Amino acid sequence: MRALEESRLSEGAVDFIDDAEMAVTLEQCRPDSVRVRDIIDKSLSKQHLTVAETADLLAADSPEAVEMIFAAARQLKRDVYGNRIVLFAPLYVGNDCVNDCAYCAFKRSNHQAVRRTLAGDEIRRQVEALESKGHKRLILVFGEHPRYDAAFIADTVKTVYSVRVGRGSIRRVNINAAPMGPEGYRIVRSAGIGTYQVFQETYHHETYARYHPAATRKGDYLWRLDALHRAMEAGIDDVGIGVLFGLHDWRFEVLGLVTHALDLQDRFGVGPHTISFPRLRPACGVVRDPKHVVSDHDFKRLIAILRLAVPYTGLICTAREPAELRREVMAFGVSQIDAGSRIEIGGYTEAGDAQCMEREQFELGDVRSLDEVMRELLADGYIPSFCTACYRLGRTGEHFMEFAIPGFIREFCTPNAVCTLMEFLVDYASPETRRAGEKLIAEQVARMPAGAIRNRVIENLEKIRTTDQRDLHF
Ligand code: SAM
Ligand code: SF4
């Protein structure tokens, strides 16, 4: 009975991806510059775009149109979200996997992979290492395997929250793990997770079937497409969608993401918390099909178009990408990045500087330390933030609030960003990073309007500098 209930789809679940219709929509778009301008203006006036409007932006590929889209994405990021970038780190817990996804080094047919699942004390050591670098937000990553059931994931989450090193603590634990049934989601939710991420990998049915053998759990397209609807039905408010770019035509995949986001929004009144857009990376035991490789230029286009299409959804750019490109796309509306990441199991305490392909899911493009990434962000005028306030105060849908509630960023986000930045500077930063950070904080405070919020920010910053008090949030 329990097993049957756990394999149930969400209420009224349907496969809302119509490949043929999406392909026709893409083929038929011939937008002129007036149409592109109108669509951009709609987005800049804080409305999300329809699938057809998104398709028009995807078809607008003249250099002038692309520059117009880039400029609009930069403007939306600057005017609506300001200059905060949230930082997190991935923690790979176990790479056993019953699936056989052709692109992934964890696939069960990859006998070169070194299989391992971290035990409780090993998890604690990884978290201690992450806390002592200054991390406050983690995403836990798992293969799909019966041993990584909801109870195991929930226990892991509780272990992570329990670790304290010095003034450090992990304040938000997100999850990237296989889809579950309703009871499973309720169990992980009660452990206090932040976002639950499941990437569809590709929305194109035929391609999906090619990369995910039918005889595997992941071979069931609808089970996966419906995963986050089930999660929301079970009360998880923050969910993250994503595509693994490089499996099929990137334009089609962007339409898939937007269709998915709008379907969640229609059904639950709120869209996904985040969208991830990993590009396929070299991996142990994996041969890549060059046909759908996404160039850097198209990668930038897809990020800018997603920013305009779903303006109130967070965008995550991971360390799969090289440092220079991450730096560039930050301006297009990326809101979260990971830094100081290691993806070998046990990699935060055991690995040297070189990446070990047999022990990781794929090769990383940016292996700089958290301190180095922070310094670059500061040099570029961003406020690196470890804020977790909304989630902990029950303010879910924070990106929507940032976007829709006048003054929200001024009253909550910027004060929390500068206070969490100050914690990092005092507790973990190199002298150089600290100097750059203190300068930026002083400029931010000087720009705040006089009044109660500014006074409290000044007070909190002083407490952080001179006492052990931490986690002073608005
Ligand atoms: N096993 C779970 C699943 O498949 O949903 C957890 C996620 S898996 C460990 C994390 C994500 O890594 C996948 O959803 C996929 O998008 C991405 N991934 C897998 N192989 C990759 C590769 N070679 N390059 C880049 N990303 C990859
Ligand atoms: Fe397993 Fe996930 Fe890798 Fe597929 S992507 S082989 S499910 S870990």
Q: Is the distance from CB of 88 to CB of 135 less than 8 angstroms?
A: yes
419 token code pair: 């206070």
Q: Which of 375, 297, 265, 314 is nearest to 139 (CA)?
A: 314
In this prediction, what percent of the chain has a pLDDT beyond 70?
96
Per-residue pLDDT tens over the stretch 175-191? 999 999 999 999 999 99
CA atoms within 13 A on the CB side of 435: 3
Q: How many CB atoms lie within 10 A of CB 241?
A: 25
> Across residues 320-335, what is the average pLDDT?
95
Per-residue pLDDT tens over the stretch 330-356? 999 899 999 999 999 999 998 666 667
> Across residues 86-94, what is the average pLDDT?
97
Give nearest CA residue, ligand 2 atom 4: 101
Per-residue pLDDT tens over the stretch 23-34? 999 999 988 999
Q: How many CB atoms lie within 10 A of CB 93?
A: 24
Q: Is the CB of 218 under 6 A from ligand 2?
A: yes
Residues in the chain: 474
Strand partners, 20: none
Distance 170 CA to ligand 1 centre (A): 23
Distance 145 CA to ligand 2 centre (A): 10
Mutate to test the pocket of ligand 1, among 359, 361, 363, 364 (most ligand atoms within 8 A of CB): 361
Indicate if the pLDDT at residue 2 is higher than 60: no
> Across residues 444-455, what is the average pLDDT?
93
* pLDDT recorded at residue 5: 78
Indicate if the pLDDT at residue 410 is higher than 80: no
Mutate to test the pocket of ligand 2, among 95, 96, 100, 107 (most ligand atoms within 8 A of CB): 107
Per-residue pLDDT tens over the stretch 301-310? 999 999 999 9
Indicate if the pLDDT at residue 400 is higher than 80: no
Distance of CA 374 to the CA centre of its chain: 18
* pLDDT recorded at residue 351: 66
Q: Is the CB of 99 under 6 A from ligand 2?
A: yes
Give the residue ranges of DSSP H helices in 315-411.
323-329, 347-350, 370-379, 389-392, 398-404, 408
Distance 410 CA to ligand 2 centre (A): 40
* pLDDT recorded at residue 287: 79
Of the listed ligands, the closest to the CA of 217 is 2
Domain boundaries, the chain: 4-17+77-368, 399-466
Indicate if the pLDDT at residue 261 is higher than 80: yes
Indicate if the pLDDT at residue 404 is higher than 70: no
Indicate the average pLDDT of the chain.
Answer: 93
* pLDDT recorded at residue 153: 98
* pLDDT recorded at residue 82: 83
The Cα 148–Cα 83 span in angstroms is 37
Distances (CA, A) of 447 to 30, 379, 380, 414: 44, 18, 18, 11
Local structure of 341: helix, strand or coil: coil
Burial 167-192 (b: 16+ CB within 10 A, else e): bbbbbbbbbbbbbbbbebbbbbbebe
Which is higher by pLDDT, 45 or 229? 229
In terms of average pLDDT, the best of 72-86, 249-263, 357-371 is 249-263
> Across residues 424-437, what is the average pLDDT?
98
* pLDDT recorded at residue 354: 65
Q: Is the CB of 104 under 6 A from ligand 1?
A: yes
Distance 291 CA to ligand 2 centre (A): 22
Confidence of residue 322 (pLDDT cuts 50, 70, 90): very high
Domain spanning 4-17+77-368 has what CATH number? 3.20.20.70
100 token code pair: 């056989």
> Across residues 43-52, what is the average pLDDT?
93
Angle between the N-to-C axes of helices 33-44 and 296-309, in degrees from 0 to 180, rounded to the nearest 10: 60
* pLDDT recorded at residue 412: 83
Q: Which atom of ligand 2 is nearest to the CA of 105?
A: 3
The Cα 234–Cα 268 span in angstroms is 12
Place of tokens 């209420």: 11
DSSP code of residue 226: T
Residues 6+ apart with CB under 8 A from 138: 88, 89, 90, 91, 127, 130, 160, 170, 172, 173, 174
> Across residues 325-332, what is the average pLDDT?
95
Give nearest CA residue, ligand 1 atom 26: 280
Indicate if the pLDDT at residue 1 is higher than 60: no
Q: Which of 239, 240, 247 is nearest to 201 (CA)?
A: 247
